[in-house]
Amino acid sequence: MSAAPPRLSVRDLSVDFVGDESVGGAVRAVDAVSFDVGAGEIVGVAGESGSGKSTLAQAILRTLPPPGVVRGGQVLLDGVDLLGLGAASLRAVRWKKLSWVMQSALDALNPVLTVRAQLDDVLARAEGPSSSSPAARDARAMALMADVGLPPERLDSHPHQLSGGMRQRVAIALALALEPALLVLDEPTTALDVVVERDLLRQLLSLQRARGFSVLFIGHDLGRIAQLADRIVVLYAGRVAEIAPGRAFRARARHPYARQLLAAMPGVGVEAATLRSIPGAPPSLRAPPAGCRFHPRCARASDACVTTAPPLVSLSGGLALSCHHPHDVHGR
Ligand SMILES: Nc1ncnc2c1ncn2[C@@H]1O[C@H](COP(=O)(O)OP(=O)(O)O)[C@@H](O)[C@H]1O
Ligand SMILES: [Mg+2]
């Protein structure tokens, strides 16, 4: 294990959605979540819909809309807590170190500008007053198009002239234009068809390997995320269930939720794997079950699970597990 400090360190992060009593009061969507993303590391966050993934991403990026409120914790990017930054310092960090692509690329693109104009705008603003020539920026825009697998002619397209996959590629090119130290991707390929998705992910991985930026990759498909991430964080109802190496996770997951999820999914490369194929549904966060939040769906649950929430126990190598009765690494 390297002794290098993590690029991103999320510590005890909790987020509520505040509502008045008529809607049942506050909902804790992210509950004391901690994990690290090392320099050059790809960390995947996986969990069913509603488990708090997007809320977590938005809290980290400081883009959480009301009524979401960060209740506690730290988000350290290279040791600086983003949660404590004023608007100007936050803007500086965003231009220098942090970029993201969310599920809908349409939100990230300006409908009235060509791809060329949008890339040029980002490149010029990222450079600040020491701006390079328009010709140099244009060359850089061409290179970014090649990086994300788009033909250079597409520089002159408007967003509505592009397919969903192309728009998502443009969004990624815009995010990469900033040469981020950390790229956060929240279900960036969910809206795409399988072939396009696979192609785009492959391209993203090869860019990541070449450039060495860190990636926080969020999605609902545990099997797929485990394949591409160095480490995987499994969320259940706003809490961390397990943090484990992505490689061999399919065989070595220890939390019963992760095991059930993986067992319920068809093999690698088979589509339409939905996480709803395990019995029951995730709990409402307005009234989560006592004890371990997974106990009503868990085949291994004991009395302790009904009454006592298992603490997240740190294991060596940045791994962690929150379960009274975990499987061993052989699945027993
Ligand atoms: N705008 C909102 N107002 C109230 N509650 C919300 C809002 N957005 C999300 N939540 C709550 O937070 C939970 C997690 O949502 P989200 O982070 O979007 O999950 P995911 O991205 O994993 O599907 C939801 O189940 C819901 O209870
Ligand atoms: Mg989401």
* Strand arrangement, sheet containing 8-17: 27-37, 8-17, 68-77, 80-81
Q: Are 57 and 235 in contact (CB under 8 A)?
A: no
Ligand 2 center–CA 85 separation, angstroms: 25
Q: What residue segments make up the domains of the chain, in order of their start?
A: 8-97+180-321, 111-179
CA 17 to chain CA centroid, nearest Å: 19
pLDDT of residue 275: 45
Task: Say if ligand 1 is within 6 A of residue 17 CB.
Answer: yes
Task: Say if ligand 1 is within 6 A of residue 219 CB.
Answer: no
d(CA 43, CA 37): 6
Task: Say if ligand 1 is within 6 A of residue 50 CB.
Answer: yes
* Protein residue closest via CA to atom 5 of ligand 1: 17
Q: Give the number of whichever ligand sits closest to the CA of residue 49.
A: 1
Q: Give the number of whichever ligand sits closest to the CA of residue 282.
A: 1
Task: Say if ligand 1 is within 6 A of residue 288 CB.
Answer: no
Instruction: Match domain 8-97+180-321 to its CATH number in 3.90.1300.10, 3.40.50.300, 1.20.1340.10, 3.60.70.12.
Output: 3.40.50.300
DSSP states of 103-145: S-HHHHS-TTS-HHHHHHHHHHHHHGGG---HHHHHHHHHHHH
Ligand 1 center–CA 118 separation, angstroms: 31
Per-residue pLDDT of the chain (332 residues), as tens digits, is 556 789 999 999 999 999 877 766 789 999 999 999 999 999 999 998 899 999 999 999 999 999 999 999 999 999 999 999 999 999 999 988 999 998 776 678 999 999 999 999 999 987 766 667 889 999 999 999 999 999 999 999 999 999 988 998 999 999 999 889 999 999 988 777 788 788 888 888 889 999 999 999 999 888 889 989 999 999 999 999 999 999 889 888 999 999 988 887 665 444 444 444 677 888 988 889 999 999 999 999 999 999 999 999 998 877 899 999 999 988 78
52 Cα nearest atom in ligand 1: 17
Q: Give the number of whichever ligand sits closest to the CA of residue 28.
A: 1
- Which residue is listed with tokens 């409908």? 111
| Token pair for 150 | 């788009």
- Ligand 1 pocket mutation pick from 23, 27, 217, 236 by most atoms within 8 angstroms of CB: 27
d(CA 163, CA 134): 28
Single out the residue of 144, 143, 151 nearest to residue 172, CA to CA.
144
pLDDT of residue 189: 80
- Ligand 1 pocket mutation pick from 54, 239, 240 by most atoms within 8 angstroms of CB: 54
- For the chain, what is the radius of gyration of the CA atoms? 20
Ligand 2 center–CA 137 separation, angstroms: 34
Task: Say if ligand 1 is within 6 A of residue 29 CB.
Answer: yes
Ligand 1 center–CA 6 separation, angstroms: 27
Task: Say if ligand 1 is within 6 A of residue 53 CB.
Answer: yes
Q: Give the number of whichever ligand sits closest to the CA of residue 15.
A: 1
